[in-house]
Amino acid sequence: MNGQWTRRVLKRSLLVAGFSWLLLSSTVTQAESPVVRVMSYNLWHGGDAGKQPLEQTARVIREARADLVGLQETRGYAASGQPRPDRAKEIAQILGWNYFDQGGGTAILSRYPIGKASPGKWGVEIEHPSGTKLYLFNAHLMYIPYQPYQLLNIPYGDYPFIKTEQEAIDFAKKARGEQVERLIADSKAAVPPDATVFVTGDFNEPSHWDWTAAAQKAGRCPIAVQWPSTSMMAETGFIDTYREAHPDPVTAPGITWTPITKITDPKDRHDRIDFVLMRQGGGKVLSSHVVGESKEAADVVIVPYPSDHRSVVSAVELTGK
């Protein structure tokens, strides 16, 4: 009996040791290649404009399997004379996540703890479970004047119609240039040179990675334009995670604006204006998906979809410090 008991103890010890080795191996693998999923999501007046329960807006984030989310248009509708409710805070409570109010109807949600904010509150420090320190900045740039409408003679505010690339660039710089400069300056003031940095946002401006000569030739855009907002971010060292995963704007337009009108509507222009950018060297882009209302328009489908912007979520294998 003593010999049998010894054999049982030895067998059990070997099983425990084997399980511990597998667990350690899994932990090491995860530590070597941590992955984070970053999302940009315009809620459309806090999700209230879509006339869906707030749970449906939270569902979009769940279905995207996001870890970090930059939110725009976080303020919902309010009764006359009452302050507009902060839907971002409510969504964070539904998800059980951490939350940072940037002000101005923008906010950051995180599955992970949120650290200190940048001086201008454009971004925050985030501690990934792997120990990698991340930074997420989030922006909602000025929506008027909107140059694609100006170029296509679609009335939107009291702004003149335009014809040339230079006119589009000039109007875009006047509308958003100063905001982008402040965003870049704030990130430089808060982030170490070797850290992983993401920028999410509704830029209200297309991308220079999309409005190319090849895209114009294919009929994807009326003219080629070196759009200044994304160009400034690129000059600062940022890459577009969606374009890293889908390099060809002709075959993969990634349209985020808008699910509420038909793509053939002559009074609208459908485009990609919502981005997840990452500073070059911050990680390896594994995938990037559009989240929206139908399989024809999106990679991740939520029905009914509660916003007038499709969102975008990118998975990145972290390699930064």
**Is residue 245, in this structure, part of any structural domain at all?**
yes
Q: H or E element: which one contains 229?
A: helix 228-235
The closest alpha carbon to 57, from 34, 80, 74, belongs to 74
| Contact indicator for 88, 140 with CB cutoff of 8 Å | no
Strands laid side by side in the 123-127 sheet: 114-117, 123-127, 133-140, 196-202, 274-279, 238-240
> What pLDDT is recorded for position 33?
66
The CATH number that applies at residue 120 is 3.60.10.10
**Is residue 21, in this structure, part of any structural domain at all?**
no
Strand-strand pairing, 300-301 and 283-292: parallel
pLDDT in tens, 236-248: 999 999 999 999 9
**Is residue 6, in this structure, part of any structural domain at all?**
no
| Contact indicator for 98, 109 with CB cutoff of 8 Å | yes
**Is residue 119, in this structure, part of any structural domain at all?**
yes
> What pLDDT is recorded for position 319?
84
84 three-state secondary structure: coil
| % pLDDT > 90, the chain | 88
Strands laid side by side in the 300-301 sheet: 98-103, 106-110, 68-72, 35-42, 311-318, 283-292, 300-301
pLDDT in tens, 57-87: 999 999 999 999 999 999 999 988 899 999 9
The alpha helices in 67-174, defined as continuous H runs, are: 87-95, 147-151, 165-172
What is the rounded CA–CA span in Å between residue 73 and residue 219? Answer: 31
Q: 158: exposed, middle or buried (C-beta count within 10 Å: 0-12, 13-18, 19+)?
A: exposed
Domain that holds residue 136: 35-318
- The count of structural domains within the chain is 1
Tell me the angle at which helices 228-235 and 178-190 cross, rounded to the nearest 10 degrees: 20
DSSP 177: I
> What pLDDT is recorded for position 321?
55
Q: H or E element: which one contains 25?
A: helix 2-32
* Cα Rg, the chain, nearest whole Å: 23
pLDDT in tens, 23-34: 443 343 444 569
**Is residue 10, in this structure, part of any structural domain at all?**
no
pLDDT in tens, 122-149: 999 999 999 999 999 999 999 999 999 9
**Is residue 18, in this structure, part of any structural domain at all?**
no
**Is residue 11, in this structure, part of any structural domain at all?**
no
**This prediction's pTM:** 0.90
**Is residue 28, in this structure, part of any structural domain at all?**
no
